[in-house]
Structure 1
Amino acid sequence: MAVRRVVPNIQSETMQENRDFYGLLGFEEVMNHGWIMTLASPSAPAAQVSVMADDKTAPVIPDMSVEVEDVDAVYTLVRDSGAEIVHPLQDEEWGVRRFFVRDPNGRVVNVLSHR
């Protein structure tokens, strides 16, 4: 099972201030849907941080996102383990297939693959 990237998600209503602050650390905006903005390192594009005001289709804001090679296979493993599925597996209009699961620490993890 391949993990492609891990991205911390910061809950915040102050998108511009976060863009400016993380810009000081070398990050640049690579995606902005209004409710979520992702900043990445130009020299290491998989080094990212996302800032979220809310989540367009889910009931909670995830603490982190993990992009995997095969989200359907990971979903089956996680579901069969008995872990709490917080948001069901579904295709999103912005081109990802994802689900949310609660980790043993109570953190919500967004597990996704790009279509």
Structure 2
Amino acid sequence: MRVHRIIANLSVPDIEAARSFYEGFLGLGEEFSLGWVARFTSAEAGGCVQLVTADATSPEDSVASVLVDDVESAYAEALRLGYEIVRPLTTEEWGVHRFLVRAPDGNVLNFVEHPN
């Protein structure tokens, strides 16, 4: 597994209410929005954050999304190492292949592979 990018997932009660801060003040542009999650990115710097109200399909929200090149091998390794799987490996209806795992420190991470 190769990690391409790690994105902070910020918990917000309302994405629309938070939008003006991230777009207006920080100058980030919306990359995508699914209603419950939206990614805001700096085209120049490449930095980004995801705003999350509540994960639509997971029993728990994650603190970060880890974009990888082979999510199946990451899942197999997490199982082999005995980490708690919060949401099993799934292809979501919006196209991503992902699972959520609890790190030993208690944080939940969302491991994601985007379709090619």
TM-score by length of 2: 0.92
Equivalent pairs, count: 114
What SS is found at the alignment partner of 1:112?
strand
Q: What is the RMSD of the two structures over their aligned residues, measured on CA atoms?
A: 1.1
In the TM superposition, what whole-angstrom CA distance separates every residue of 1:27-77 from its partner, at most 9, and x where no partner exists? 1111111111110111134x2101111111111111110000000011101
Corresponding residue for residue 36 of structure 2:
35
Could you say which residue in structure 2 is the equivalent of 1:20? 20
Say yes or no: does 1:58 pair with 2:29. Answer: no
TM (norm. structure 1) is: 0.93
Q: Offset at 1:18? A: 2.1
Q: 1:78-103, CA deviations, whole angstroms, 9 ceiling, x for partnerless residues? A: 11000111100000011100000001
Percent sequence identity over matched residues? 39
User: Structure 2 regions of 5+ residues with no counterpart?
Assistant: none
In structure 1, the gaps of 5 or more residues are none
Question: How far 1:22 moved relative to its partner?
Answer: 1.6
